[in-house]
Structure 1
């Protein structure tokens, strides 16, 4: 590879445009050489001020563009499987945003295709593993000073949901982050899920079940609960409290600017995930670029992406049909036997 890793970015929407900016002006060691988006004008807008990158409306053409050495997939979830398999066929390292695939069958096909290669090429974009607070909590739990983890209490709130958001997407798009974070923090697979439906908020679009409450069971008896509320109206909040045998630890407390005036004080609440997790995204992409330039693949694997899809799929079944739904995972290929849930 040259001095700078040549990256093709698939998708130039909110997430893709932010990654284009990040690759060219934040992380170092990489440059965007091709961008693909069905909306060519949007792709050109995302590249404003960046010279030398080609624009494509066909993602496959972007993979074959001159100078492409790696791929960052930030297109909608249903397009991920085909793009990942095409990248594997070309031997291109990939960072794929979550969900790796919106259904477990497609995700398993990706896992099996990578296993046939005999080596890893893909990292899945569960960026909370790179957030400073989450990594501190992970180290604390792994250190054992608080004893065995018994429960995780999680909160995930958005100001508002996109117009295309469905009730199922609260689980398979939003809560997929908590699913992976729980697996990683606890070092356990999730084995069953129950999704409850409180009365929907008056702020939720018509037909959207929001908020929801998900309860996950783990293979060693811990419980994980998640409040997901994507039209709370006031800000973006992600919190997690680990309750252990000898103590507890909580992350995600509001710690923005404190404004004092008119007889009261108030913290700012982030309005967007790109604000709350800006540093985590930077660390994630920097880690991917550095590892790729060194010929290595680190971070969450396609198995992690598959496991998250399988758990989310069980959650959607519980949402739609009610009751507790067991999570069924395929046999893990030897390629992913280690590190599994660990982030290495």
Structure 2
């Protein structure tokens, strides 16, 4: 493995465990060198079938393990900032699952630390940018054949929400992907957020405002609406339709297997994000490994992580206060020009 990129995976939960499997079995040019998790049993289980990988409870110890040349952060969001700062101090390239940080102030600190490091080290894990359908939609919009994009209609549905999931998390966790996808697809920044509260579903846990309709305005004059429904009960659905001056384009309708039995035919609905976006995660990690081995950083930057955080914070305020909230934004550092 002398020329293979050794990766420390921080977090051995569902997402982290899936990345350990992906790096170990699917991604060429890389191997899992260490896994860290606050639960020692979970860390040990994650590396049980991975030759040569060490298990740790301390993320910094995992970064300092022999052979580590890069870090993949899949720990809970509140742990990200400390992990990123430690990785930057060591000059280690990082792929960090969203959110980069839970709040905009933390995102500003991460950007400042990366700039002090003198070069880009961080890619944020907005994997929809690697999904084939989203890439095709981006290509259509950038091509200009449909004219200027006026509206994006988005749907984000989950079977059920995990314990402790809050109304705010529907925006700063679930809708965070739509925030980044909208910015990327349109090439525009979000300037204001309004949240509409429909009647609460009988399937929602007590106290959870589910579903929600989140409406974003952009500096290019487009409007983005997101239906987020995290206890729909039947499957995981992500859809996006761009309505433009001379036509429209929609993705997410046919990402399923058609099952025919007897006299009926039905499409299977994915049960979760790891199923729906499996290929996108594979492509994302492969691209990150290839770029890291070449000494470069591509993909969503810390600036994109900040832009998501500040828009999500405005969205939570809009939900809490029942009004349209403008999105404040720091000036984009020149360090991220072209990122």
For Structure 1 versus Structure 2, the TM-score category normalised by the shorter chain is: over 0.9
Match of 1:84 in 2: 84
User: In the aligned structure 2, how far is the partner of 1:252 from the partner of 1:297?
Assistant: 29
Computed over aligned residues only, the root mean square deviation of the Cα atoms, in angstroms, reads: 1.0
Match of 1:113 in 2: 113
- Matched residue of 1:335: which SS? helix
User: In the aligned structure 1, how far is the partner of 2:268 from the partner of 2:75?
Assistant: 31
CA deviation profile, 1:95-150 (whole Å, cap 9, x unmatched) = 00000011000011101111222210000000000000000000110000000000
Structure 1 segment 1-344 matched on structure 2, within 5 A = 2-339=2-339
- Matched residue of 2:133: which SS? helix
Q: What is the Cα deviation at residue 257 of structure 1? A: 1.8
Question: What TM-score comes out, normalization by structure 2 length?
Answer: 0.98
Q: Is residue 180–residue 308 contact of structure 1 (8 Å, CA) maintained in 2? A: yes
User: In the aligned structure 2, how far is the partner of 1:38 from the partner of 1:146?
Assistant: 50
Q: Is residue 156–residue 238 contact of structure 2 (8 Å, CA) maintained in 1? A: yes
- Matched residue of 2:128: which SS? helix
User: In the aligned structure 2, how far is the partner of 1:27 from the partner of 1:294?
Assistant: 15
- Matched residue of 2:68: which SS? coil
User: In the aligned structure 1, how far is the partner of 2:167 from the partner of 2:316?
Assistant: 9
Q: What is the Cα deviation at residue 164 of structure 1? A: 2.1
User: In the aligned structure 2, how far is the partner of 1:67 from the partner of 1:116?
Assistant: 25
User: In the aligned structure 2, how far is the partner of 1:296 from the partner of 1:259?
Assistant: 43
Q: What is the Cα deviation at residue 262 of structure 1? A: 4.0
CA deviation profile, 1:61-93 (whole Å, cap 9, x unmatched) = 111111110000000000000100110000000
User: In the aligned structure 2, how far is the partner of 1:243 from the partner of 1:139?
Assistant: 15
Q: What is the Cα deviation at residue 55 of structure 1? A: 0.7
CA deviation profile, 1:148-188 (whole Å, cap 9, x unmatched) = 00000000000011102111000001100000000000000
Give the aligned length: 339
Structure 2: segments with no counterpart, 5+ residues: none
Q: What is the Cα deviation at residue 51 of structure 1? A: 1.4
User: In the aligned structure 1, how far is the partner of 2:46 from the partner of 2:206?
Assistant: 32
Q: What is the Cα deviation at residue 44 of structure 1? A: 1.4
- Matched residue of 2:123: which SS? strand
Structure 1: segments with no counterpart, 5+ residues: 340-344
CA deviation profile, 1:17-74 (whole Å, cap 9, x unmatched) = 0000000101111101111000011111122311111111111111111111000000
CA shift in 2, pair 1:255/1:97, >3 Å: closer
User: In the aligned structure 2, how far is the partner of 1:242 from the partner of 1:321?
Assistant: 29
Moved more, 329-338 or 266-275: 329-338
- Matched residue of 1:167: which SS? coil
Q: Is residue 101–residue 107 contact of structure 2 (8 Å, CA) maintained in 1? A: yes
